[in-house]
């Protein structure tokens, strides 16, 4: 066991399987006590099982400390209870890894409002609810005179950063998580809390919703074994971002795909045009857009 996270207490949401399971095992391996949250059951969280207990048993077998939590992170009361019992049972809260997720893929013309709402609820509302609950807790600690070094690590994806066919719900949710990361990184800086997002990869029950994709659980592999689609491939990055060593890194998006880390940078001004303090005219705007924004003189931008 390494001392990187010794004395820290972490919540990992959606940690019974796949990427979150890898994060929970990794954080425990570095000395953190871990709350393994997951409502259990199938890929969409339906049909609650006791799967988080399995991860707790793995952590305890390796000499660590963990507790299971079966709350639904899209439900406000469950999230309040998750944070309250973390502090009551493990004494403190230092790290929140917002990982829980579901997919409901369909081309937008076939997607139901339910498909949209469920995906938004788990990813966006869930990440926002845990962030708010943790922020309220840490604000209270700061007001009580404590120096806080809180960590929030959110989970985005290539779909949210670049778009993906069939994922208008999921891509919207994952892009929203980036906006939430940027804004809360600004708000929580004054409390000593960093907020970053990772873009992980791995063959999990989510990717198995695509035909012919097998599932790997992180503990199918040895702790030092490399597999390009290991769901725990991003977990060392999460452990480092969770540690005191990363105090200066906040508001960042880092993808961890196969053996590479990618620092992602988003919207920036690429070109501009000015109306020189006159009102724009739609009928002449085309040539301004073509010339100044896209660098072409063709009226059809081509």
Ligand X SMILES: NC(=O)c1ccc[n+]([C@@H]2O[C@H](COP(=O)([O-])OP(=O)(O)OC[C@H]3O[C@@H](n4cnc5c(N)ncnc54)[C@H](O)[C@@H]3O)[C@@H](O)[C@H]2O)c1
Q: Which residues bind ligand X (CB under 6 A)?
A: 13-14, 16-20, 37-40, 43, 45, 72-74, 99-102, 122, 126, 155, 157, 199-202, 204-207, 231
Residue placing its CB nearer to ligand X in the complex, 32 or 97 = 97
Residue placing its CB nearer to ligand X in the complex, 17 or 149 = 17
Residue placing its CB nearer to ligand X in the complex, 64 or 101 = 101
Name the minimum Å distance from CB 258 to ligand X.
11
Name the minimum Å distance from CB 231 to ligand X.
5
Q: Largest Cα–Cα distance in the chain?
A: 71
DSSP-assigned states of every residue in 160-226:
HHH--TTBHHHHHHHHHHHHHHHHHHHHHGGGT-EEEEEE-----TTGGGSTT-----GGGS-TT--
Q: Cα–Cα distance between 131 and 151 in angstroms, integer? A: 10
Q: Cα–Cα distance between 12 and 129 in angstroms, integer? A: 14
Catalytically active residues, by annotation: 157, 170, 174
Name the minimum Å distance from CB 282 to ligand X.
40
Name the minimum Å distance from CB 23 to ligand X.
9
Residue placing its CB nearer to ligand X in the complex, 94 or 217 = 217
Sequence-ordered list of residues with C-beta below 8 angstroms from that of 290, at least 6 positions apart, any chain: 296, 297, 298, 299, 301
Cα-Cα-Cα-Cα dihedral sign, residues 265, 266, 270, 272: negative
Q: Cα–Cα distance between 226 and 138 in angstroms, integer? A: 36
């Amino acid at each position: 066991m390494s001392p990187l996270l010794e004395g820290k207490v972490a919540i990992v949401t959606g940690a019974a399987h796949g990427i979150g399971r890898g994060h929970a095992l990794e954080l425990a391996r570095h000395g953190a006590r871990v709350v393994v949250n997951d409502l259990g059951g199938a890929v969409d969280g339906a049909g609650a099982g006791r799967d988080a207990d399995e991860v707790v048993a793995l952590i305890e077998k390796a000499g660590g400390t963990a507790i299971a939590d079966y709350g639904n992170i899209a439900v406000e009361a469950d999230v309040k209870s998750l944070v309250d019992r973390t502090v009551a049972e493990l004494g403190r809260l230092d790290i929140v890894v917002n990982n829980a997720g579901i997919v409901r893929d369909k081309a937008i013309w076939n997607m139901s409002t339910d498909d949209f709402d469920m995906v938004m609820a788990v990813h966006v509302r869930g990440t926002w609810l845990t962030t708010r609950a943790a922020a309220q807790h840490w604000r209270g600690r700061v007001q009580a005179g404590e120096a806080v070094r809180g960590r929030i690590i959110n989970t985005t994806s290539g779909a949210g950063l670049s778009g993906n066919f069939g994922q208008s719900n999921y891509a919207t949710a994952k892009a929203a998580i980036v906006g939430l990361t940027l804004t809360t990184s600004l708000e929580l800086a004054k409390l000593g809390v960093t907020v970053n997002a990772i873009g992980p990869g791995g063959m999990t029950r989510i990717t198995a919703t695509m035909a012919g994709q097998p599932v790997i659980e992180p503990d199918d592999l040895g702790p030092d074994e490399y597999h390009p689609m290991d769901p725990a491939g991003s977990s060392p990055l999460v452990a480092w971002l969770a540690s005191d060593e990363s105090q200066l890194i906040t508001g960042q998006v880092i993808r961890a795909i196969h053996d590479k880390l990618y620092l992602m940078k988003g919207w920036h001004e690429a070109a501009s045009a000015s109306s020189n303090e006159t009102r724009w005219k739609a009928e002449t705007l085309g040539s301004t857009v073509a010339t100044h924004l896209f660098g072409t003189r063709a009226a059809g931008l081509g």
